[in-house]
Amino acid sequence: MTSLLKNIIRFILFILVQVYIFNKVPPVNQYVKPYIYFLFILWLPFNIGRAPLMLLAFVFGLTFDYFSGTPGLHTMPCVLIAYLRPFLLNLLIPQETTQLSYLEPSAKSMGWASYSTYVLILTFLHIALLVFIEWMEFGDFLFFIGKVTATTVLSLILIFIAEMLFPRAGKYRTNTAA
Amino acid sequence: MRNIIAFIRQFFNLFLFLVLMGIALAILINYNQTYNVVFSGIANETTGKVGAQYNAIEYYFKLKKTNEQLVAENAELRGLLKSSFGGPDTSSVIQVDTLMKDTLGRVRKFRFLPAKVVNNNISGETNYLTLYRGSKQGAQVDMGVIGPNGIVGKVIQVSDNYCLVMSLLNRNSKVSAMMKNGFYTGLVDWDGKDPRYVIMHNIPKSVKVKIGDTVLTSNLSGSYPPGIMIGTVAGFQGDSGSGFLEMKVKTSTDFYSIQYAYLVNNMIWAEQKELEAKTPKEK
Protein backbone atom coordinates (compact mmCIF):
# COMPACT_ATOMS: atom_id res chain seq x y z
CA MET A 1 0.00 0.00 0.00
CA THR A 2 1.43 3.35 -0.91
CA SER A 3 1.92 6.03 1.68
CA LEU A 4 -0.60 8.32 -0.07
CA LEU A 5 -3.39 5.74 -0.11
CA LYS A 6 -2.68 4.82 3.51
CA ASN A 7 -2.96 8.43 4.61
CA ILE A 8 -6.18 9.04 2.66
CA ILE A 9 -7.75 6.06 4.44
CA ARG A 10 -6.43 7.35 7.77
CA PHE A 11 -7.92 10.81 7.07
CA ILE A 12 -11.40 9.32 6.63
CA LEU A 13 -11.08 6.79 9.45
CA PHE A 14 -9.86 9.28 12.06
CA ILE A 15 -12.70 11.67 11.31
CA LEU A 16 -15.38 8.97 11.36
CA VAL A 17 -14.02 7.36 14.54
CA GLN A 18 -13.85 10.70 16.34
CA VAL A 19 -17.26 11.95 15.16
CA TYR A 20 -19.27 8.77 15.46
CA ILE A 21 -17.60 6.99 18.36
CA PHE A 22 -15.72 9.35 20.67
CA ASN A 23 -18.04 12.32 20.27
CA LYS A 24 -20.96 10.06 21.18
CA VAL A 25 -19.44 8.98 24.49
CA PRO A 26 -21.48 10.67 27.18
CA PRO A 27 -19.09 12.91 29.14
CA VAL A 28 -17.99 10.97 32.22
CA ASN A 29 -17.90 14.25 34.02
CA GLN A 30 -17.59 17.81 32.87
CA TYR A 31 -13.79 17.72 32.56
CA VAL A 32 -13.10 14.67 30.48
CA LYS A 33 -13.58 14.46 26.75
CA PRO A 34 -11.78 11.91 24.58
CA TYR A 35 -9.90 13.31 21.56
CA ILE A 36 -7.83 11.21 19.20
CA TYR A 37 -8.40 12.62 15.70
CA PHE A 38 -5.23 14.78 15.65
CA LEU A 39 -3.10 11.62 15.71
CA PHE A 40 -3.56 11.78 11.93
CA ILE A 41 -1.27 14.81 11.84
CA LEU A 42 1.29 13.23 14.18
CA TRP A 43 1.50 10.16 11.93
CA LEU A 44 2.05 11.96 8.63
CA PRO A 45 5.31 11.06 6.82
CA PHE A 46 8.62 12.81 7.52
CA ASN A 47 9.20 13.90 3.96
CA ILE A 48 6.10 16.06 3.60
CA GLY A 49 6.91 19.78 3.20
CA ARG A 50 6.00 22.31 5.86
CA ALA A 51 3.56 24.29 3.75
CA PRO A 52 1.68 21.20 2.45
CA LEU A 53 1.66 19.88 6.02
CA MET A 54 -0.09 23.01 7.31
CA LEU A 55 -2.56 23.09 4.42
CA LEU A 56 -3.36 19.43 4.99
CA ALA A 57 -3.91 20.06 8.70
CA PHE A 58 -6.17 23.00 7.83
CA VAL A 59 -8.32 20.89 5.49
CA PHE A 60 -8.40 18.03 8.01
CA GLY A 61 -9.43 20.33 10.88
CA LEU A 62 -12.09 22.05 8.82
CA THR A 63 -13.56 18.73 7.62
CA PHE A 64 -13.80 17.53 11.19
CA ASP A 65 -15.33 20.86 12.25
CA TYR A 66 -18.13 20.63 9.73
CA PHE A 67 -19.05 17.24 11.12
CA SER A 68 -19.12 18.52 14.68
CA GLY A 69 -21.00 21.71 13.78
CA THR A 70 -18.48 24.34 14.88
CA PRO A 71 -16.36 25.48 11.89
CA GLY A 72 -12.94 26.83 12.86
CA LEU A 73 -12.84 25.50 16.41
CA HIS A 74 -10.64 22.44 15.81
CA THR A 75 -8.93 23.90 12.74
CA MET A 76 -6.74 26.31 14.70
CA PRO A 77 -5.16 23.70 17.04
CA CYS A 78 -4.59 21.40 14.03
CA VAL A 79 -2.70 24.11 12.13
CA LEU A 80 -0.75 24.93 15.28
CA ILE A 81 0.59 21.41 15.79
CA ALA A 82 1.30 21.06 12.06
CA TYR A 83 3.41 24.23 12.28
CA LEU A 84 5.30 23.11 15.38
CA ARG A 85 5.82 19.49 14.32
CA PRO A 86 8.95 19.98 12.15
CA PHE A 87 10.69 22.06 14.85
CA LEU A 88 10.05 19.38 17.42
CA LEU A 89 11.16 16.55 15.13
CA ASN A 90 14.40 18.37 14.37
CA LEU A 91 15.05 18.74 18.09
CA LEU A 92 14.20 15.18 19.04
CA ILE A 93 15.82 12.97 16.46
CA PRO A 94 19.05 12.70 14.53
CA GLN A 95 17.31 13.55 11.27
CA GLU A 96 20.06 12.53 8.89
CA THR A 97 19.75 8.89 9.75
CA THR A 98 16.13 8.48 10.86
CA GLN A 99 14.35 10.60 8.32
CA LEU A 100 16.19 8.94 5.50
CA SER A 101 15.54 5.40 6.58
CA TYR A 102 12.01 5.58 8.00
CA LEU A 103 8.75 6.88 6.54
CA GLU A 104 6.88 8.37 9.46
CA PRO A 105 7.17 9.11 13.20
CA SER A 106 6.59 6.02 15.32
CA ALA A 107 7.93 4.45 18.47
CA LYS A 108 10.11 2.21 16.36
CA SER A 109 11.63 4.87 14.15
CA MET A 110 12.27 7.44 16.91
CA GLY A 111 12.61 5.30 20.03
CA TRP A 112 10.06 5.26 22.84
CA ALA A 113 11.51 8.17 24.81
CA SER A 114 11.66 10.61 21.89
CA TYR A 115 8.33 9.48 20.50
CA SER A 116 6.59 9.88 23.87
CA THR A 117 7.98 13.38 24.27
CA TYR A 118 6.85 14.25 20.75
CA VAL A 119 3.31 12.99 21.35
CA LEU A 120 3.05 14.49 24.83
CA ILE A 121 4.10 18.01 23.82
CA LEU A 122 1.93 18.21 20.70
CA THR A 123 -1.10 16.68 22.44
CA PHE A 124 -0.81 19.13 25.31
CA LEU A 125 -0.48 22.16 23.00
CA HIS A 126 -3.35 21.00 20.82
CA ILE A 127 -5.75 20.50 23.71
CA ALA A 128 -4.63 23.63 25.55
CA LEU A 129 -5.42 25.80 22.52
CA LEU A 130 -8.67 23.94 21.83
CA VAL A 131 -9.96 24.33 25.39
CA PHE A 132 -8.70 27.91 25.48
CA ILE A 133 -10.76 28.88 22.40
CA GLU A 134 -13.76 27.02 23.75
CA TRP A 135 -13.50 28.72 27.15
CA MET A 136 -12.42 32.18 26.04
CA GLU A 137 -15.76 33.71 26.91
CA PHE A 138 -16.19 32.02 30.27
CA GLY A 139 -12.75 32.44 31.80
CA ASP A 140 -12.72 30.26 34.89
CA PHE A 141 -8.99 29.61 35.23
CA LEU A 142 -9.05 26.58 37.55
CA PHE A 143 -11.64 24.93 35.35
CA PHE A 144 -9.45 25.60 32.32
CA ILE A 145 -6.38 23.99 33.90
CA GLY A 146 -8.38 21.02 35.14
CA LYS A 147 -9.99 20.44 31.79
CA VAL A 148 -6.71 20.68 29.87
CA THR A 149 -4.94 18.27 32.23
CA ALA A 150 -7.69 15.67 32.37
CA THR A 151 -8.36 15.76 28.62
CA THR A 152 -4.64 15.53 27.79
CA VAL A 153 -4.20 12.49 30.04
CA LEU A 154 -7.22 10.74 28.52
CA SER A 155 -6.07 11.52 24.96
CA LEU A 156 -2.56 10.22 25.73
CA ILE A 157 -4.01 6.97 27.06
CA LEU A 158 -6.10 6.62 23.89
CA ILE A 159 -3.11 7.36 21.66
CA PHE A 160 -0.91 4.76 23.35
CA ILE A 161 -3.69 2.20 23.21
CA ALA A 162 -4.02 2.93 19.48
CA GLU A 163 -0.24 2.59 19.20
CA MET A 164 -0.31 -0.86 20.79
CA LEU A 165 -3.40 -2.10 18.95
CA PHE A 166 -2.13 -1.09 15.53
CA PRO A 167 1.65 -1.45 15.54
CA ARG A 168 2.86 0.20 12.38
CA ALA A 169 5.69 -1.68 10.80
CA GLY A 170 8.46 0.91 10.87
CA LYS A 171 9.38 -0.01 7.35
CA TYR A 172 12.83 0.70 6.09
CA ARG A 173 12.78 3.03 3.15
CA THR A 174 15.02 1.98 0.33
CA ASN A 175 16.81 4.52 -1.79
CA THR A 176 15.05 3.45 -4.95
CA ALA A 177 11.56 3.89 -3.53
CA ALA A 178 12.23 7.51 -2.75
CA MET B 1 22.19 35.10 -1.24
CA ARG B 2 21.62 31.65 0.13
CA ASN B 3 20.97 33.14 3.53
CA ILE B 4 18.32 35.46 2.15
CA ILE B 5 16.54 32.61 0.40
CA ALA B 6 16.69 30.54 3.57
CA PHE B 7 15.28 33.47 5.51
CA ILE B 8 12.44 33.98 3.05
CA ARG B 9 11.63 30.32 3.12
CA GLN B 10 11.44 30.30 6.90
CA PHE B 11 9.44 33.51 6.87
CA PHE B 12 7.05 32.02 4.29
CA ASN B 13 6.14 29.16 6.63
CA LEU B 14 5.47 31.50 9.53
CA PHE B 15 3.44 33.70 7.22
CA LEU B 16 1.41 30.75 5.96
CA PHE B 17 0.87 29.62 9.54
CA LEU B 18 -0.50 33.02 10.56
CA VAL B 19 -2.73 33.26 7.48
CA LEU B 20 -4.22 29.81 8.09
CA MET B 21 -4.81 30.60 11.77
CA GLY B 22 -6.43 33.87 10.72
CA ILE B 23 -8.76 32.14 8.28
CA ALA B 24 -9.74 29.58 10.91
CA LEU B 25 -10.44 32.33 13.44
CA ALA B 26 -12.46 34.28 10.89
CA ILE B 27 -14.54 31.20 10.13
CA LEU B 28 -15.09 30.60 13.83
CA ILE B 29 -16.19 34.16 14.52
CA ASN B 30 -18.32 34.58 11.40
CA TYR B 31 -20.05 31.31 11.96
CA ASN B 32 -21.04 32.30 15.48
CA GLN B 33 -22.54 35.59 14.32
CA THR B 34 -24.35 34.83 11.11
CA TYR B 35 -25.65 31.48 10.14
CA ASN B 36 -26.60 32.36 6.59
CA VAL B 37 -23.29 31.55 4.98
CA VAL B 38 -23.92 29.82 1.68
CA PHE B 39 -20.90 27.61 2.06
CA SER B 40 -21.97 26.20 5.38
CA GLY B 41 -25.35 25.41 3.82
CA ILE B 42 -23.63 23.15 1.30
CA ALA B 43 -21.38 21.62 3.95
CA ASN B 44 -24.45 21.05 6.08
CA GLU B 45 -26.11 19.17 3.22
CA THR B 46 -23.09 16.87 2.78
CA THR B 47 -22.44 16.07 6.43
CA GLY B 48 -26.18 15.64 6.91
CA LYS B 49 -26.14 12.84 4.33
CA VAL B 50 -23.33 11.01 6.12
CA GLY B 51 -25.13 11.60 9.42
CA ALA B 52 -28.29 10.06 7.97
CA GLN B 53 -26.35 6.91 7.03
CA TYR B 54 -24.95 6.58 10.54
CA ASN B 55 -28.32 7.27 12.09
CA ALA B 56 -29.91 4.49 10.03
CA ILE B 57 -27.78 2.08 12.05
CA GLU B 58 -28.05 3.83 15.40
CA TYR B 59 -31.81 4.20 14.98
CA TYR B 60 -32.22 0.44 14.82
CA PHE B 61 -30.84 0.00 18.31
CA LYS B 62 -33.18 2.61 19.74
CA LEU B 63 -36.36 1.35 18.05
CA LYS B 64 -37.84 0.04 21.26
CA LYS B 65 -37.41 3.26 23.19
CA THR B 66 -38.67 5.36 20.27
CA ASN B 67 -41.71 3.12 20.01
CA GLU B 68 -42.46 3.60 23.68
CA GLN B 69 -42.22 7.36 23.35
CA LEU B 70 -44.50 7.41 20.32
CA VAL B 71 -47.03 5.13 21.98
CA ALA B 72 -47.08 7.32 25.06
CA GLU B 73 -47.56 10.40 22.93
CA ASN B 74 -50.32 8.72 20.91
CA ALA B 75 -52.11 7.83 24.10
CA GLU B 76 -51.86 11.42 25.27
CA LEU B 77 -53.19 12.77 21.96
CA ARG B 78 -55.98 10.21 21.90
CA GLY B 79 -57.02 11.56 25.24
CA LEU B 80 -57.50 14.95 23.65
CA LEU B 81 -59.79 13.70 20.86
CA LYS B 82 -63.33 14.91 20.95
CA SER B 83 -64.54 11.34 20.74
CA SER B 84 -62.99 10.51 24.09
CA PHE B 85 -65.23 13.01 25.87
CA GLY B 86 -68.74 11.77 26.48
CA GLY B 87 -71.62 14.18 25.90
CA PRO B 88 -75.29 14.33 25.02
CA ASP B 89 -74.67 15.29 21.42
CA THR B 90 -72.40 12.92 19.47
CA SER B 91 -73.48 13.99 16.03
CA SER B 92 -70.42 16.06 15.20
CA VAL B 93 -68.04 14.49 12.74
CA ILE B 94 -64.37 15.07 13.18
CA GLN B 95 -62.69 16.04 9.97
CA VAL B 96 -59.15 16.91 9.22
CA ASP B 97 -59.24 20.48 8.07
CA THR B 98 -56.36 22.12 6.30
CA LEU B 99 -57.87 25.58 6.23
CA MET B 100 -56.16 28.35 8.10
CA LYS B 101 -59.34 29.12 10.05
CA ASP B 102 -61.50 26.64 11.86
CA THR B 103 -65.27 26.99 11.99
CA LEU B 104 -65.24 29.04 15.17
CA GLY B 105 -63.29 31.80 13.45
CA ARG B 106 -60.15 31.22 15.44
CA VAL B 107 -56.95 31.51 13.47
CA ARG B 108 -54.61 28.58 13.55
CA LYS B 109 -51.47 29.86 15.20
CA PHE B 110 -49.08 26.92 15.39
CA ARG B 111 -48.41 24.17 12.89
CA PHE B 112 -46.27 21.13 13.74
CA LEU B 113 -43.95 19.56 11.20
CA PRO B 114 -42.49 16.19 12.19
CA ALA B 115 -38.82 15.57 11.41
CA LYS B 116 -36.33 12.77 11.93
CA VAL B 117 -33.23 13.50 14.01
CA VAL B 118 -30.22 12.43 11.93
CA ASN B 119 -27.41 13.80 14.03
CA ASN B 120 -27.25 14.71 17.69
CA ASN B 121 -24.46 15.91 19.92
CA ILE B 122 -24.47 16.17 23.69
CA SER B 123 -20.82 15.93 24.66
CA GLY B 124 -19.71 19.47 23.83
CA GLU B 125 -20.32 22.91 25.23
CA THR B 126 -22.17 24.03 22.12
CA ASN B 127 -24.37 21.20 20.91
CA TYR B 128 -26.36 21.00 17.72
CA LEU B 129 -28.85 18.57 16.19
CA THR B 130 -29.46 17.96 12.50
CA LEU B 131 -33.03 17.22 11.38
CA TYR B 132 -34.00 15.65 8.08
CA ARG B 133 -36.33 18.42 6.94
CA GLY B 134 -35.20 21.50 5.06
CA SER B 135 -36.49 24.62 3.38
CA LYS B 136 -38.11 22.53 0.62
CA GLN B 137 -40.26 20.86 3.28
CA GLY B 138 -41.17 24.05 5.07
CA ALA B 139 -38.44 24.43 7.69
CA GLN B 140 -37.45 28.02 8.43
CA VAL B 141 -34.85 29.71 10.58
CA ASP B 142 -36.06 30.58 14.11
CA MET B 143 -38.67 27.82 14.30
CA GLY B 144 -38.89 26.16 17.70
CA VAL B 145 -38.22 22.43 17.97
CA ILE B 146 -40.05 20.20 20.44
CA GLY B 147 -39.76 16.49 21.09
CA PRO B 148 -42.34 14.01 22.35
CA ASN B 149 -41.61 14.98 25.96
CA GLY B 150 -40.61 18.62 25.85
CA ILE B 151 -38.71 21.32 24.05
CA VAL B 152 -35.48 20.51 22.20
CA GLY B 153 -34.10 23.71 20.67
CA LYS B 154 -34.36 26.22 17.90
CA VAL B 155 -33.60 26.11 14.14
CA ILE B 156 -30.60 28.28 13.29
CA GLN B 157 -29.81 27.25 9.75
CA VAL B 158 -31.64 25.50 6.91
CA SER B 159 -30.47 23.92 3.66
CA ASP B 160 -32.67 22.30 1.01
CA ASN B 161 -33.30 19.05 2.86
CA TYR B 162 -31.75 19.45 6.30
CA CYS B 163 -31.91 21.94 9.11
CA LEU B 164 -29.44 22.59 11.91
CA VAL B 165 -30.92 23.02 15.38
CA MET B 166 -29.23 24.73 18.30
CA SER B 167 -29.94 22.32 21.13
CA LEU B 168 -31.25 23.49 24.49
CA LEU B 169 -27.90 22.11 25.67
CA ASN B 170 -25.94 24.94 24.10
CA ARG B 171 -24.09 27.72 25.84
CA ASN B 172 -25.79 30.26 23.57
CA SER B 173 -29.37 29.04 23.94
CA LYS B 174 -31.85 31.04 25.98
CA VAL B 175 -35.51 30.18 26.39
CA SER B 176 -38.20 32.23 28.07
CA ALA B 177 -39.87 30.00 30.66
CA MET B 178 -42.50 30.11 33.40
CA MET B 179 -43.38 28.11 36.49
CA LYS B 180 -46.58 26.13 36.09
CA ASN B 181 -47.31 26.97 39.70
CA GLY B 182 -47.93 30.73 39.68
CA PHE B 183 -46.89 31.69 36.13
CA TYR B 184 -43.68 33.46 37.17
CA THR B 185 -41.57 33.97 34.08
CA GLY B 186 -37.82 33.49 33.94
CA LEU B 187 -35.04 32.52 31.61
CA VAL B 188 -33.66 29.04 31.00
CA ASP B 189 -30.12 28.45 29.76
CA TRP B 190 -27.40 25.82 30.09
CA ASP B 191 -24.15 26.04 32.06
CA GLY B 192 -22.32 23.47 29.91
CA LYS B 193 -21.85 20.95 32.70
CA ASP B 194 -24.41 18.16 32.90
CA PRO B 195 -26.54 17.34 29.83
CA ARG B 196 -29.41 16.25 32.05
CA TYR B 197 -29.91 19.63 33.73
CA VAL B 198 -30.48 23.21 32.60
CA ILE B 199 -30.52 26.36 34.76
CA MET B 200 -33.47 28.70 35.28
CA HIS B 201 -32.85 32.31 36.32
CA ASN B 202 -34.85 35.39 37.30
CA ILE B 203 -37.40 33.82 39.61
CA PRO B 204 -37.78 36.08 42.69
CA LYS B 205 -36.75 34.60 46.04
CA SER B 206 -40.22 35.32 47.38
CA VAL B 207 -41.71 32.60 45.20
CA LYS B 208 -42.27 29.35 47.06
CA VAL B 209 -40.60 26.74 44.86
CA LYS B 210 -40.75 23.03 45.58
CA ILE B 211 -38.60 20.23 44.17
CA GLY B 212 -40.57 18.63 41.35
CA ASP B 213 -42.41 21.78 40.23
CA THR B 214 -43.02 21.91 36.51
CA VAL B 215 -41.33 24.48 34.26
CA LEU B 216 -43.10 25.37 31.00
CA THR B 217 -42.42 27.62 28.02
CA SER B 218 -43.91 31.07 28.56
CA ASN B 219 -46.21 33.23 26.47
CA LEU B 220 -43.36 35.58 25.66
CA SER B 221 -41.37 33.25 23.48
CA GLY B 222 -42.59 33.41 19.88
CA SER B 223 -40.88 30.23 18.74
CA TYR B 224 -42.66 27.86 21.08
CA PRO B 225 -46.34 27.48 21.88
CA PRO B 226 -46.92 28.50 25.50
CA GLY B 227 -47.19 25.69 28.03
CA ILE B 228 -44.84 23.16 26.45
CA MET B 229 -42.91 21.31 29.13
CA ILE B 230 -39.23 22.15 29.67
CA GLY B 231 -38.60 20.08 32.77
CA THR B 232 -39.01 19.76 36.50
CA VAL B 233 -37.20 21.56 39.30
CA ALA B 234 -34.42 19.36 40.70
CA GLY B 235 -32.84 21.85 43.08
CA PHE B 236 -32.61 25.57 43.79
CA GLN B 237 -30.55 28.10 45.70
CA GLY B 238 -30.60 31.82 46.22
CA ASP B 239 -28.11 33.86 44.26
CA SER B 240 -26.22 35.81 46.91
CA GLY B 241 -25.74 38.88 44.71
CA SER B 242 -29.36 39.46 43.78
CA GLY B 243 -32.91 38.81 44.86
CA PHE B 244 -33.35 35.93 42.49
CA LEU B 245 -33.32 32.17 42.73
CA GLU B 246 -31.13 29.97 40.58
CA MET B 247 -32.87 26.69 39.87
CA LYS B 248 -31.56 23.44 38.47
CA VAL B 249 -34.15 22.02 36.10
CA LYS B 250 -34.12 18.41 34.93
CA THR B 251 -35.02 18.44 31.23
CA SER B 252 -38.09 16.42 30.30
CA THR B 253 -36.57 15.65 26.91
CA ASP B 254 -34.10 12.78 27.03
CA PHE B 255 -31.31 14.19 24.87
CA TYR B 256 -29.46 10.87 24.95
CA SER B 257 -32.08 9.02 22.95
CA ILE B 258 -34.11 11.56 20.96
CA GLN B 259 -35.07 10.27 17.50
CA TYR B 260 -38.05 12.34 16.37
CA ALA B 261 -38.87 16.00 16.83
CA TYR B 262 -41.45 18.50 15.66
CA LEU B 263 -40.69 21.85 14.10
CA VAL B 264 -43.13 24.46 15.36
CA ASN B 265 -44.29 27.02 12.84
CA ASN B 266 -45.78 30.13 14.42
CA MET B 267 -47.90 31.24 11.47
CA ILE B 268 -48.67 34.74 12.63
CA TRP B 269 -45.34 35.55 14.23
CA ALA B 270 -44.18 37.53 11.21
CA GLU B 271 -47.08 39.92 11.78
CA GLN B 272 -46.16 40.31 15.46
CA LYS B 273 -42.51 40.97 14.66
CA GLU B 274 -43.49 43.51 12.02
CA LEU B 275 -45.63 45.39 14.50
CA GLU B 276 -42.93 45.32 17.17
CA ALA B 277 -40.37 46.67 14.72
CA LYS B 278 -42.63 49.66 14.10
CA THR B 279 -42.86 50.56 17.79
CA PRO B 280 -41.44 54.05 18.29
CA LYS B 281 -38.25 53.75 20.30
CA GLU B 282 -37.95 57.38 21.53
CA LYS B 283 -40.34 60.26 21.37
Find the closest chain A residue to B128 by CA distance.
A69
Check CB contact under 8 Å for B25 and A72.
Answer: yes
| B112 beta partners | B264
Q: Are residues B201 and B167 in the same domain?
A: no
Count of other CB atoms within 10 angstroms of residue B15: 12
Q: Are residues B43 and B151 in the same domain?
A: yes
The CA distance from A41 to the nearest CA of chain B, in Å, is: 15
Look at residue B277 and tell me if it is in a domain. no
**Three-state DSSP class for B10?**
helix
**pLDDT at res. A98:** 62
Mean per-residue pLDDT, B42-58: 78
Banded pLDDT at A28 (limits 50, 70, 90): low
Provide the angle, in degrees to the nearest 10, between the axes of the packed helices A75-92 and B2-33.
Answer: 150
Mean per-residue pLDDT, B247-275: 85
**pLDDT at res. B251:** 92
Q: Are residues B192 and B239 in the same domain?
A: yes
Look at residue B92 and tell me if it is in a domain. no
In chain A, what are the domain boundaries? 3-165
Provide the angle, in degrees to the nearest 10, between the axes of the packed helices A3-20 and A50-68.
Answer: 30
Query: Average model confidence (pLDDT) for chain A?
Result: 82
Q: Rounded to whole angstroms, how far apart are CA atoms A60 and A165?
A: 23
Q: Are residues B139 and B245 in the same domain?
A: no
Q: Are residues B183 and B68 in the same domain?
A: no
Rounded percentage of chain A residues whose pLDDT exceeds 90? 26
* Total CB pairs under 8 A between chain A and B: 87
Q: Are residues B193 and B223 in the same domain?
A: yes
Tally of domains within chain B: 3
Q: Are residues B179 and B157 in the same domain?
A: no
Residues of B in CB contact (< 8 Å) with A are 12-13, 16-17, 20-21, 23-29, 31, 40, 43-44, 46-47, 50-51, 54, 121-128, 130, 164, 171, 192-195, 256
Banded pLDDT at A146 (limits 50, 70, 90): confident
**pLDDT at res. B141:** 87
CATH classification code of A3-165: 1.10.1760
Tens digits of residue pLDDT in B177-230: 988 888 888 889 888 888 889 999 888 888 888 888 999 988 887 788 888 899
User: Higher pLDDT residue, B8 or B153?
Assistant: B153
DSSP B72-83: HHHHHHHHHSGG
Q: Are residues B246 and B124 in the same domain?
A: no
Tens digits of residue pLDDT in B117-172: 888 888 878 888 988 888 888 888 888 898 888 899 999 888 888 889 999 888 88
Rounded percentage of chain B residues whose pLDDT exceeds 70? 82
Q: Which positions ≥6 away from B255 have C-beta within 8 Å?
A: B120, B122, B152, B167, B168, B169, B195, B196
Find the closest chain B residue to A147 by CA distance.
B193
Burial (Cβ within 10 Å: 0-12, 13-18, ≥19) of residue A122:
buried
Give the largest CA-CA distance in chain B.
Answer: 103
Check CB contact under 8 Å for A27 and B123.
Answer: yes
Assign residue B215 the CATH number of its domain: 2.40.10.350
Check CB contact under 8 Å for B31 and A72.
Answer: yes
Hey, which residues 90-149 in chain A have their CB within 8 Å of chain B?
Answer: 133-134, 137-138
Check CB contact under 8 Å for A67 and B50.
Answer: yes
Check CB contact under 8 Å for B164 and A69.
Answer: yes
**Domain of B21, in residue numbers:** 1-33
